[in-house]
Amino acid sequence: MANTPRSGQRGVPGPPGPRGAQGATGVQGARGATGARGAKGERGAHGAAPPSSVLSQLSEIEHTIEDIYKELDVQMTRMGQIQQQVDELRTKIKALIGNSN
């Protein structure tokens, strides 16, 4: 033991190395026992929604469709006005081109 050097105080450990590859998955364990059954819940409503609910939803849908038709009517009217303005401009341009020759 005379040739063995004495070790000094250890320093701060270095950072960990890269993570290794994941090992193989083991065999699935045995299934556990089935637990106790919970309390029975309240009985739910049977069949479709109440007629009053369906009627109110249908009324809302009909109202929305009417609003859409009104919006479309306004847009179509505006498109007609724009088309008329474009036609008038075309007529004026043709008249100007015809007068310049």
Structure tokens at 44: 């739910």
What pLDDT was estimated at residue 16?
85
**Rounded CA separation 12/40 (Å):** 61
The rounded distance, in Å, linking the Cα atoms of 46 and 22 is 53
Q: What is the pLDDT of residue 98?
A: 82
When pLDDT is cut at 50, 70 and 90, the band that residue 1 belongs to is: low
